[in-house]
Chains A and B, each alone.
Chain A
Amino acid sequence: MAANPVREGNIRIPSGCAISGMFAKDGRLVSGESIVHSMTVMHDRSNGLGGGFAGYGIYPEYKDAYAFHVFYDNKSAKAECEAFLEEHFDIINLSKIPIRKNPRITDEPLIWRYFVNPLPTKLADSQLGEREFVARCVIRINTRIKGAYVFSSGKNMGVFKAVGFPEDVGDFYRLEEYEGYCWTAHGRYPTNTPGWWGGAHPFAMLDYSIVHNGEISSYDANRRYIEMFGYSCTLQTDTEVITYVIDYLHRRQGLTMEEVAQVIAAPFWSTIEAKSEEEKAKATYFRDVYASLLITGPFSILVGFEGGLMALNDRLKLRSMVAAEKGDMFYVASEESAIRLMEPEPDRLWSPRGGEPVIVTLNHTTERG
């Protein structure tokens, strides 16, 4: 693919969006058909320049291996990337990701899937933990191998994304053939016209995947801070930097998801003043220590992670987001209409408050922040 001057990574592209998610707390596996369907009603929130999905629990047969989904611009990028993978990983399985031709999805790159595990010797040499080793390898491929882009790298989960409307993207990737306990979806409305598949959402790092609606005003403050810790924000998108911030706080700093939410959508000082002494001390600590990871400006995000899902709005709730429950099922979307398509009669339907995370995990009840 020729270098596109307005491709993500060359310029910064703000975008509006639609998001949708579902989560089965009892771990039952649900086909991808329903989440694809939920996006059709929010068609006008996207403009055909990006759609995508993340599914968790979809690769039970390879659940202990890292599933890499890779876009290649050409065969030489593939050859170079595969040489790198072979040098660092034990490749258990590789194949093209099955697709169905769709008239509205065109110019697809080569799309491959690899189930891999780090080579023990390489891992030992690196003196890194396994997940850190994998993360660094992904960053290395994405920054050093031209024309290769790993867009999904977690265990027993996968991201599927393309340039197009979300419902067409779901059809293209044949998502009705996958079953997962958690699905998230994204339709993109970028204010520019890039044609690159890697720029679509979800954005993923290991088992973290993010779909995001909004345009954060703290972008460069967050980016310049997080890049101190080995991340490289090559796409210049909000979703990319939010993913790295969450990876850093949750995986590397060991914060819980509730605590992550308290950092990135920190309560206002006026709210903190009203809390108990213990909570005040903790909230003040987070705002001080992780000041540069506060995210401002409008956002609603769904953070998928192994065994869980977090829905979070910015602290002023400048983007719409609705949540619902029906038995063990949890739903969340930009609009209630999308939830009604997945579950016409939820037991409970509410609008989470700004900065208050809704976190669901397997075999647990809904927690409200």
Chain B
Amino acid sequence: MPIQFLYPEYEVVRNPDLCIVCRVCERQCANEVHRYDADLNKMFSDSSKCVNCHRCVSLCPTRALKIVKSDHTFKENANWSRQSIEEIYRQADSGGVLLSSMGNPKDYPIYWDKILINASQVTNPSIDPLREPMETRVFLGAKPGSIRRDKDGKIITDLPPRIALSTPIMFSAMSYGSISYNAHASLARAARELGICYNTGEGGLHEDFYEYGPNTIVQVASGRFGVHKDYLETGAAVEIKMGQGAKPGIGGHLPGAKVFGDVSKTRMIPTGTDAISPAPHHDIYSIEDLRQLVFSLKEATEYKKPVIVKIAAVHNIAAIASGIARSGADIIAIDGFRGGTGAAPTRIRDNVGIPIELALAAVDQRLRDEGIRGNVSIVVGGSIHSSSDIVKAIALGADAVYIGTAALLALGCHLCRSCQGGRCNWGIATQVPELVKRLNPDVGYRRLVNLVNAWTHEIKEMMGGMGINSIEALKGNRLMLRGIGLSETELKILGIRHAGE
């Protein structure tokens, strides 16, 4: 037996007094952690295979199972963490790039948690959302700089193409392939019921979901998978994906093992071939090339669809966004360094990019300084944890937010960060039919609707507390925010004052 350098970080603990040997855990675990010994009539677990997804824990009828962090330890070392050591063992063993999923889990600042929201007291009244209208409708798209009137003096109400959202929340791009058919079905149905949009990601649009077109953002990424005329014309908007917060600067890779059946058909590539999205778009090597793609897509859709350009939050984000705002794009989507993914090189996920809060504040201010904030709407994503994060994002200057991880959590994801393995026990990040069917779209879409409705209620409560009864009066209203425990530089970038000021 070879030397085992790695000891499981988490251990499966079974309470033998509670276990009734029903074998549900065994059936539910696609990683084959649980095993039944018929001779002993007893369940055994192999913690080394456990990804800590809680599927078995959640389905155990007697709560006999729990997953605990192992107290097994290396000799304590403030410089060499267990993770650093084990990653070296892993790479020395495989010779490969470390792969991870979902967002950057490292201990970087979460600026949302260092920002506080205002409320009315005495000098102006708070507004009770249960008694008064409280409006959350937003439009995404370019605003004209001046009005036009017809010969009778009536205002011509034509506007550039736009998206109307009942609440400033959209589901961010997750491709069919990286997530399952049932996950897509849940997102699409929820988006329609909520009056918002979901996003196809770079996986094309399954033919069953064309009916959700008015609530669908169709993505065009560097691999151009699944892009054709009907696809572009079906969506409410077309999104050019230039980058992703989880892996700025690199492309994507859906292993051939996941490319079969409808996934291969929807992506328009042969069964079993790896779907590799190049790092750059091979027709975009600068901003003027982006402009050409923007207008190619506008031509293809007869100027009826807004074009979104999605970029990862990187150091020079304000200047990049300024360039995009002049490129003909209608909406800029910015993805922060905490943004999720189905698979990314660990080093990139954990070390590349910047926090969305700082990127958003810098971009919004730069576009205002240049007088072009009205040219584009700004959508931000990359770890929106709650409704208060949304209120803060909008007050910093966003028009709307993208939620990806939060939406998957609503569907049952437990952030085990093992999507790249393709054996998601929750039926989300997998193409294995028996696993996919575990996610019931009837239940999944309802949970998404519940989440967004709950958040919208909370947004209304916070708006009412501030004496604001329409979301547009919150947008860019940074005076409603205060920083706590932030440096002068951080406050300056966020454009907010410190609490008490």
Contacts and interface: CB of A to CB of B under 8 A. Distances in A.
A270 B159 contact: no
Given A285-B159, A288-B139, A221 B469 contact: no
A316 interface: yes
A22 to B, nearest CB: 27
B469 A291 contact: no
Contact of A225 (B122, B159, B373): B373
A316 B127 contact: yes
Contact of B477 (A219, A228, A288): A219
Contacts of B478: 220, 224
A104 interface: no
A366 interface: no
Contact of B373 (A228, A255, A282, A294): A228
Contacts of B137: 269
Contact of B146 (A220, A253, A298): A253
Given A228-B373, A288-B162, A14 B123 contact: yes
B472 A292 contact: yes
Nearest to B471: A291
B480 interface: yes
Contact of A228 (B122, B138, B368, B473): B368
A218 interface: yes
A282 B132 CA distance: 24
A227 B495 CA distance: 15
A298 B123 CA distance: 10
A298 B124 contact: yes
Nearest to B478: A220
A294 B135 CA distance: 12
B476 A292 contact: yes
Interface string B82-126: 000000000000000000000000000000000000001011110
B192 to A, nearest CB: 19
Nearest to A281: B157
Nearest to A296: B473
Interface string B377-421: 000000000000000000001000000000000000000000000
A188 to B, nearest CB: 13
Contacts of B127: 316
A323 B470 CA distance: 27
Mostly, the B contact residues are: loop
B123 to A, nearest CB: 4
A344 to B, nearest CB: 33
A298 B476 contact: no
Contact of A220 (B123, B371, B477): B477
B470 A296 contact: yes
Contacts of B468: 217-218, 296-297
B155 interface: yes
Contacts of A282: 154-155, 157
A36 B270 CA distance: 85
Contacts of B476: 220-221, 224-225, 292
Nearest to A286: B155
Contact of A288 (B124, B146, B159): B159
Nearest to B374: A228
Highest count of chain B CB atoms <10 Å: which of A14, A254, A268, A296? A296
B133 interface: yes
Contact of A298 (B125, B157, B373, B480): B125
A297 B124 contact: yes
Given A220-B477, A269-B137, A287 B472 contact: yes
B265 interface: no
Nearest to B138: A291
B143 interface: yes
Highest count of chain B CB atoms <10 Å: which of A15, A227, A269? A269
A284 interface: yes
Given A269-B135, A269-B137, A218 B368 contact: no
Contacts of B139: 288, 291
A12 B477 CA distance: 14
Contacts of A285: 155, 157, 159
B144 interface: yes
Given A220-B479, A268-B133, A269-B137, A288 B143 contact: yes
A292 B475 contact: yes
A97 interface: no
A188 B91 CA distance: 71
14 contacts: A214-B124, A218-B477, A219-B479, A220-B476, A220-B477, A221-B475, A225-B368, A254-B147, A282-B157, A284-B157, A294-B473, A295-B473, A296-B469, A297-B473
